[in-house]
Amino acid sequence: MLPLLVILGITIILFIWGKFPPDVVALMAMLSLYLSGILGLDETLAGFSNPTVIMIAALFIIGEGLSRTGWTAMAGQSFVRWAKKNAPRLLVIVTLGSSLLSGFVSNTGTVAALLPVTVTAAWSAGTLPSKLLIPVAFGSNTGGLLTLTGTPPNIIVSNALVDNGFEGFSFFEFGLIGVPLLVISILYFRYWGHKLLPDHRTKNKPVAIDQEMHKWIENYSIGDNLYRLRIRSMSELIGTKIGDWNFEKTHNVSIMRLKRRHPSQLQGIPQFVEMPGPETEMRYHDIITVKGETVDVDRLIIKFHLGVIPWKPEKDMLKKELINQEVGMAEMMITPKSVFVGRTVPLGHYLEQTGVQLLAASRKNRPLTGKIKIEAGDAFIIRGQWENIESLKSVYENLVISGSPEALSKNVDELTPRSYVALGTLLLMVILLVFNVLPGAVAALICAGIMMLSGCVPITKAYKGISWTSVVMIAAMIPMGLALQKTGVAQMAAISLVDALGSIHPTALLAGIFLLTALFSQTINNSATAVLMAPIAIMASTELGVSPKPFMIGVAVSASTAFLTPVGTTTNAMVMSAGGYKFIDYVRVGGPLLLLFFIATLILVPWIWSF
């Protein structure tokens, strides 16, 4: 028992210290349990085959699918529109929005999606990011209590019940306590908490794709020399491929986008070819967006009998024309050692190895047109598949890509057919879990597979969407829970709790479990806290001879109350820099909310789940 207590104590100290990543600390603890002889090999590695770990990894992929297909970005933009630059209303909306999103998307994914739009909205509403970002982080932690899959501790405590022969929680059962706590959070921030939020002025504005697009359109004159042409019935382009005509070299014109419009081919449904290539076939009534000098485009119109579609390329229209979930834009800088220095290329030119298009150029802050002899320091706006832009630096050395194409792609709020596939996949998972059609891990794996096979999450990006730090940490900490039970430490802790508090009333025991779990969760990852406390809570309820469900709900709730420190959860840490927060800000704002959660839990949990 003593070696286990030493390992557990050192593990907790290392978690609090933060010198090493939490997954590394958990792995060291796991190996220590084996090397000290406390656990056998199978027991030591049991966490990596645990259904909880597999389900959580699959849920990260599902959340990534929702983010990549525009749902989280669309939700964030909707919050800003609904607020109408009213700061108190915006506070309520972002808190409610982050809560609702985190019920189905990971807390980290929710905050990542809402952080840039919340900061932008704060300035637009005449307030400061520091007045909104802690509510976003705390709201995401609270929203995880709305569903079984909202946050890992929910899954951990539910599976712990099943592993010990009890009935687990249903999908929406957590909402019975989650909804009241959400209401408490919103009322707290609206009428009291906002007074405690600090007035920190920050200068770091996160990149917002709308702002970036509008800036590029203006600075690079992207709308200049863009034309929309219709392929008429007498055009010799009909039935030929783009590569047959070599438009760039022969006509100094680049085809940027193609829209199918002929009803007999598409049954009335428009279809876009976002990046037309040499093999793209042109058909009657297609609309092609081209870039080139006016004189060259005029010659093209006459030669191929094309019709001109009048349009005024305003900023919002250009955004819809140029980017979506598949195709994006970025800013590229040419360094002195780049292979492109000295080359002459026309605007609209496609880079052969990546299929990325040079859309616009600027030299010394002045837009360039026509054919360009590239010099060091030239800046380009490039357009292409998001993944091709992301990989550009690995194909061509000595290029600087401004910002993160990967992050920008998740801020596109346009919905596509894949968006509805992603939403349908989420609904399918909910149905499978609500009606217990399949085990949770299997249901989540099936839906994660659908996300990948349908292209909502590119297979090459699926692993990147998983927070491996969280997954490995949970898997490595599960053996600690086994060791606590095997050595009798969990039983000893449970008996101590029962002796000290159980004789008073089961509610007193619930209070003790809540406070102990909440204490751990301020400095230890909530998943690790749940893994540690779940066996203790079950043992304590067994010793007292009452139902374990109220105590497991108490563990889940208190594991999500890391309101007092910026290191308790990833979401708290994510908003710290953007909001300019200090450690004391979390204590000042989170202390009263934690107290309200504690009181609400002691009142509501015994009433909903009887002892």
What φ, ψ does residue 383 adopt, rounded to 5°? -135, 135
Are 201 and 183 part of one and the same domain?
Answer: yes
Are 309 and 345 part of one and the same domain?
Answer: no
Average pLDDT, the chain: 82
The residue-averaged pLDDT of 413-438 equals 82
Which stretch of 19-33, 171-185, 427-441 has the lowest confidence by average pLDDT?
427-441
Are 123 and 226 part of one and the same domain?
Answer: no
Q: Which of 319, 336, 362 is the last residue of a domain?
A: 319
Are 156 and 88 part of one and the same domain?
Answer: yes
In angstroms and rounded to an integer, the radius of gyration of the C-alpha atoms of the chain is: 28
User: Sorting pLDDT into bands at 50, 70 and 90, what band is 404?
Assistant: low
Query: What's the rounded Cα separation, in Å, for the pair 418 and 526?
Result: 33
User: Sorting pLDDT into bands at 50, 70 and 90, what band is 479?
Assistant: confident
pLDDT at 462: 83
pLDDT more than 90, % of the chain: 19
Beta-carbon contacts of 149 under 8 Å, excluding residues fewer than 6 positions away, are 55, 59, 104, 155, 171, 429, 433, 440, 444
pLDDT at 326: 76
pLDDT in tens, 328-369: 888 889 999 888 898 888 877 788 778 888 888 888 888 887
Within-domain flag for 41 = no
Within-domain flag for 310 = yes
What φ, ψ does residue 382 adopt, rounded to 5°? -110, 150
| DSSP, residue by residue, 145-197 | GGSTTSSHHHHHHHHHHHHTTS----TTTTHHHHHHHHHHHHHHIIIIIHHHS
The answer to whether residue 532 scores a pLDDT higher than 50 is yes
User: Sorting pLDDT into bands at 50, 70 and 90, what band is 304?
Assistant: very high
Residue 151 falls in which region: left (phi positive, over 0), alpha (psi -120 to 50) or beta = beta
DSSP conformational letter for 401 = E
Are 66 and 189 part of one and the same domain?
Answer: yes
Direct distance between the N- and C-terminal alpha carbons of the chain, in angstroms, rounded to an integer: 31
The residue-averaged pLDDT of 423-448 equals 84
The residue-averaged pLDDT of 108-118 equals 70
pLDDT in tens, 61-111: 887 887 788 777 777 677 767 877 788 888 898 899 888 888 877 676 677
Helix axes 22-35, 468-486, angle to 10 degrees: 30
CATH code for the domain of 383: 3.30.70.1450
Within-domain flag for 420 = no
Closest to 67 (Cα-Cα) out of 533, 457, 492, 405: 457
Structural domain containing residue 336: 324-409
Domain count, the chain: 4
Within-domain flag for 34 = no
369-399 residues labelled b (16+ CB within 10 A) or e (exposed):
eeebebeeebbbbbbbbbbbbbbbeeebeeb
Q: Please, how many CA atoms are within 13 Å of residue 276, restricted to the half-sphere of its CB?
A: 27
Within-domain flag for 185 = yes
Tell me the pairing of strands 371-373 and 344-346.
Answer: antiparallel
> Three-state DSSP class for 228?
strand
Are 63 and 199 part of one and the same domain?
Answer: yes
The residue-averaged pLDDT of 293-301 equals 90
> Three-state DSSP class for 382?
strand
pLDDT in tens, 187-241: 999 999 888 988 887 664 545 566 677 777 777 877 778 889 999 989 999 999 9
pLDDT at 299: 92
User: Sorting pLDDT into bands at 50, 70 and 90, what band is 288?
Assistant: very high
Are 69 and 182 part of one and the same domain?
Answer: yes
Are 269 and 311 part of one and the same domain?
Answer: yes
Are 481 and 598 part of one and the same domain?
Answer: yes
pLDDT at 211: 66
The answer to whether residue 481 scores a pLDDT higher than 60 is yes
Within-domain flag for 219 = yes
The residue-averaged pLDDT of 122-133 equals 81
